[in-house]
Amino acid sequence: MQPDKDGRFVVYNPWTAQVAFTTPGTSEARVDEIARDAKAAFYQHLKTPGHVRADWIQGAAAALDRARSKIVEAMIAHIGKPRKAAEMEVKRSVAFIAACAQHLHTLGGQLVPLDMVPAGVGSVGFVRRVPYGVVAAVTPFNAPSNLLVQKLAPALATGNAVVIKPSLEGTQIAEMIAQAFVAGGVPEELVRVVPGDRAEALGLAAHRDVDLVTLTGGTAAGDALARAAGAKRFLGELGGNSPNIVAADADLTDAAKRIVPSSFEASGQQCISTQRIIVEAPVFDRFLALFIEATKRLKVGDPAAADTDLGPVVSRVSAERIAAMIEDARALGARVISCGEIRDCVIPPTIVVEPPATARLIREEVFGPVVVVLRAADVDDAIRIANDCEFGLQGSCFTASLSTALRVADEVRVGSLWINEASRFRLDNYPFGGMGRSGVGREGLPYALEEYTQLKFTGMRGV
C-alpha cells in the first residue's frame, strides 16, 4: 500500500468502502530510536523476578478483557471480520494471555553431568533459559488480536522487550492491545508499536538492537524478513494450502459439516483454512453434494450483524487477487460453483471442482473463501496429492480406520494434523507451526516460552 500525499496510509472499511482510519508511517530515524530504547528497557528490566512478570501478564489479560468490546468493533470496521468471529477471537486472546502467565513456572533448566568427562570432575554445570533481548513482532491483518498476543505475551513473560510492527489494517488494534498490556502492569517502555508497511518491517528486522524477529504472514514476506534479519533468530509462521483428506470410510455428513466452516469462515483468511479437500473416488460425488448443501446454508453479509458467517475480504486488492485465481482455474477447465456474486470486497463461498495440478489454487495460498475439491484413487493417492505442495502447515484426515489415521499422520508433511477434525481447528496448548515453506518455530504453550528464550550454560570449577 502506498501512503497518500501527506505521508499517511489510509485504511478503508471493506464493507462500507468508507475510510476507517489513517495512520502515518514511521521514519527510519524513529524506527532506530524505538529499537535503541527497547534494548535499553530490556537491560533495565532484565532482573525482574518471574513472579512479577507473571503478575504483569495476568494483569494484561484482565485489561484486555475490559477492552474487549472496543477491539471487537475495530475488527469489524477495519478488517470486515464478522462479529461472532471477532468476539471469539478476543475471548481466546484473553484466555491465552492468562495461560501464558500460568505456564511461566514450567520454564526450568537442568544440571549438566560434567563428571562424565574426566576434565570435568569436581566441577558443576547448569543450563538456564534466558531471554534474547528485543523481539520484533510482525503481525498480519487476519487475526489482529490472537496472532499478536501469541507473540507478545510469551515474549514479555520470558523477559524480552517487544516492538510490534502490525499490518496496516491492524495498527489501531495493536495499539489498543499494547495499551492493555501497559494498563495491566507491563512497563510501557517494554512494548512499543511501529506503524507502517514493508519498509518499517524490514528496517526493524535488520536493526542491530533487534535480537529476534518473529513473523506471522506470507512466505514471500518471511523470505524478505529472514534476509533482512541475517544471522539473528527468526521465527516464521508462514503460508499454507491446507489439505483435508476424506477417506471412503469417513462419516461424510460429519466431514462436510466440519470442513465447510474451516473453508469459508473468516472469508477463508486464515493460514490453516481448508484449501484442498482430497476425497477418495468411491465417495467423491456423495461428499461433494453434502458439502455444497452445507455451504449454501452460510450467511454472507454485513460483518456487524450477529448472524453473519462471511463478511468481505480485507480489501479490494485481495478481492481482485482471489477472483483472478478462480478465473485461472475456470480457464483451465475446472468446474466452479459459486454461492453468490462477487461484489466489491465480498467474495461468496466458492467451490472449485477438480482443477488441474497447474492451477494457481493448487500451487499457491488463496487466503480467501475458495476451496478446491480433488478426487483421489485411494489413500495412497490422497497422501501423494496432499504432499504435492511446498506448504506444510496444518492438515486433516477424516476416517473410521485407526490404521489410516496413523498412516496419514506419519506420511502427510505438515507441522500438525487433525483426525476427524478440519484443518482450521487450533488449540493453544499444542506446538503449532509448519514444515517446508510454511515456516520455522512453534507457537502454543509451553512451546512458545522456549522459542523466546535461549540456552545459557554456567560452569563452576570445584575447589
Residues identified as active-site: 237, 271
Task: Quote the CA–CA distance of 89 and 146 in Å, as a whole number.
Answer: 6
* Burial degree of 256 (CB within 10 A; 0-12, 13-18, 19+): buried
Nearest 10 degrees: CA dihedral of 182, 180, 50, 112?
Answer: -110
Give yes or no for a contact between 233 and 132, defined as CB atoms under 8 angstroms apart: yes
Element (H, E) at 437: none
CA 406, 410, 413: angle at the middle one, nearest 5? 135
HSE-CB for 147 with a 13 A CA cutoff: 25
Task: Quote the CA–CA distance of 455 and 128 in Å, as a whole number.
Answer: 6
Write the CA distances from 404 to 199, 281, 284, 413, integer angstroms. 47, 16, 18, 15
Task: Quote the CA–CA distance of 75 and 424 in Å, as a whole number.
Answer: 20
Element (H, E) at 53: helix 50-66
Task: Quote the CA–CA distance of 365 and 375 in Å, as a whole number.
Answer: 20
Write the CA distances from 425 to 80, 133, 140, 151, 263, integer angstroms. 21, 32, 19, 19, 11
* Burial degree of 330 (CB within 10 A; 0-12, 13-18, 19+): middle
Q: How many CB atoms lie within 10 A of CB 327?
A: 12
